Every structure is written in structure tokens, then in C-alpha cells.
Homo-oligomer: A and B are copies of this chain.
Amino acid sequence: MARLIRRRSGKAGLPPGTPVHVGERKVEELKITLIDYDEEQFQERPISAAEVRPFKETSTVTWINVDGVHDVATIAAIGDQFDLHPLVVEDLSSTGQRPKVEEYDEHLYVVLRMLTCSDESGHVEAEQVSILLARNVVLTFQERPGDVFDAVRDRIRTAKGRIRRMGPDYLVYSLIDAVVDNYFLVCEKLGECVEPLHEELVTAPTPASLHRVHELKGEVLNLRKVLWPLREVVSSLERSESQFFRRATRLYLRDVYDHTIQVIDTIETYRDVIAGMVDLYLSSVSNRMNEVMKVLTIIATLFIPLTFIAGVYGMNFRYMPELGWKAGYPAVLAVMAVVAGAMLLYFRKKGWL
């Protein structure tokens, strides 16, 4: 069983808005990358926390990505430059939050969970991604380098598609879309674990299979805990009449919403399938147990009457005429064979063999 809760104890008693890193430290050094573009121009380069300020005022779309959230001082410095609310700054470093959206006067704050699923075991890892939209600037904060945004970066670099023509809200949409699109991959990988397991349970169930079922069940439950709040996040972004999303972009959010529902549908199907698996395992195990007991009991039942007959002729009565017959012994053996045969026939007729 994985750890059920992240330790937040270090945090108890601190005033609200105090940024403290909660969770595992996943990267050595915090790294900031800048992408700045509009329809004509484009630049991409590493940047330090001290340099980000000026981009607040430009008319270009600026995407500042931060890998590593354990360095609370730097995070706080960035937050300061964009006048982020202290509670937002606190949340950035506090990993393990549910997907949520918070609207402030000057910025929109979205928390998502980016998933990765290891191929062979179906274990799903989650990483917290924070997206902040403040005027023309989009800030993203991730726990470690490596993400699902490369396709978005490529589209910006190559000036392909709509993304260079549209504003920062479309960039935010693209990032959310990339996260949700990735869920389909995670679902497929999970599906590839579910299907052979189902096969295994039908043909050769072992206690290890049951353990595996419980593991997968846990993964699916964790996914549900990410997906249902995500659905609310996307739905509230789509419907909100906020200043942050233009009407045209909101149509795209509806598309993301549809995708979220589709992923949820798939996950709920998995849940049903996995719930059925436990029943399948139990019924299969009990079936096998019953088979064993039945065969053993039939063997015993077959020999008990025969042993009785042998017992009768083992009695020491002086006057037992059969004992003196020449054909006594073979006759008794024949009787035994007939009795055994009759019982076997009866069992077969009854369908017990």
C-alpha cells in the first residue's frame, strides 16, 4: 500500500501564505525557461528569477516555465514580481493538491495533475502542474523537468497552427489540453494491464493475481480522484464569464471538457471491469476448491462401502458359511467391483464426475 497522505506536519502552526515545500523533492536545482512570442517574433531561452519582471509589461505573450518547486525562496521571488496572492505562492510549493481553479482580480490560478504510467506495472505517477495566467504572461510550475508540453512548444516554435495568432488564454487552453490528452495515453497503458490480467483470472488465477487486481483498483481510484475535480475545473473555466478567457477560446475548452468526460467514462469502465474481476477471482477460487473437495469426497465415498464389505468377511464368527466356499473370495471381490461400478455409474449419471 502506497503512503496514504503527504506529510504536512512541518506546516502546522505556520501563518497562512508561508511558502513551505510539501512533498518529495524531485529535482536538484530549480530551472526557469522563457518563451516569448507574438505573431511575428519568437524567443526561447533560460532565464533567472530576477529577469522576469519586464515581461509583465510587454504586449507579447510570455510563457515562463519553472521546473522544481522545492526552492521556496525563488518561487516567492517570482510570485512577488507578478503580485501573486500569498496563498497562491504557498500553494505552488505545496504539492499533492487536488485539481482546482481560483480566480483572483489580477490572475487566474489553475492546478492540474500531470500523470505518467510506467508501461509494465501500470503504476501511475502524478506530478503537480500549476498554471497562472496574468494579463499577457503565463506561468507554469512543475515538480521536475520533463513534461507533456513539448508538442505545444513545437507548435509555437514553428508558428504552425493557430497558437501564434491567439492570445495567452489560448496558450493556457493548449497546456490544459496537452495534460488531458496525455490522460488518454495513461488510460491506454492501464488498459493494457487490465486486459491480460482479466485473461489470467479466467485461465489461471493465483493469489498474486488478486494482489494485482487490488493494485490496479488502487490506481483507478487514484485516477478518479484526479479526474472528477478536473472535470469541475474545466467545466467552470468553460462556463465562467470571466475576463480571462475570450469567447473563441471557450469553445476549445468545451472540447477539453468532452475529452475529460471520455477519459472518465473509460476509467469508470475499468472500475466496473476490475470490480467484476474480484468476483471472478473469488468464484474461480471457490470453484476450484469445490472441485477438489468433490473429487476427494467421491474417492472416500467409493471406498467406504467396499471397506465395510471387507470388514464383514473379516469377522471371526465360527459359523459363516461363505468363508468356507471355494468361490467365496472371488465372489466377494466381484461384488465389490459391481458396487464400485454401480456407484461410479450413478455419480456419472448425476454429473458429479
Contact = CB atoms under 8 A, between A and B. Distances in A.
A244 interface: no
A334 interface: no
The number of chain A residues touching the other chain, given as a range, is: 35 or more
A100 B244 CA distance: 26
Contacts of A305: 299, 303
A14 B266 contact: no
Contacts of A245: none
Given A290-B289, A299-B301, A317-B328, A1 B195 contact: yes
A97 B333 CA distance: 73
A6 to B, nearest CB: 9
Nearest to A282: B283
Contacts of A187: 5
Interface string A85-112: 1010010000001101010100000000
Given A16-B177, A181-B12, A316 B316 contact: yes
A319 B329 contact: yes
A308 B303 contact: yes
A32 interface: no
A313 B317 contact: yes
A188 B315 contact: no
A186 B293 CA distance: 44
26 contacts: A4-B194, A5-B191, A8-B188, A9-B188, A11-B181, A13-B178, A15-B155, A18-B161, A225-B265, A278-B279, A282-B283, A296-B298, A296-B300, A297-B300, A299-B304, A303-B305, A303-B308, A304-B304, A307-B311, A310-B314, A310-B315, A313-B315, A314-B314, A316-B320, A317-B328, A319-B329
Given A1-B195, A87-B252, A317-B322, 14 more contacts: A3-B195, A4-B273, A11-B181, A15-B160, A15-B161, A97-B262, A98-B258, A207-B287, A282-B283, A292-B352, A296-B300, A304-B304, A310-B315, A311-B311
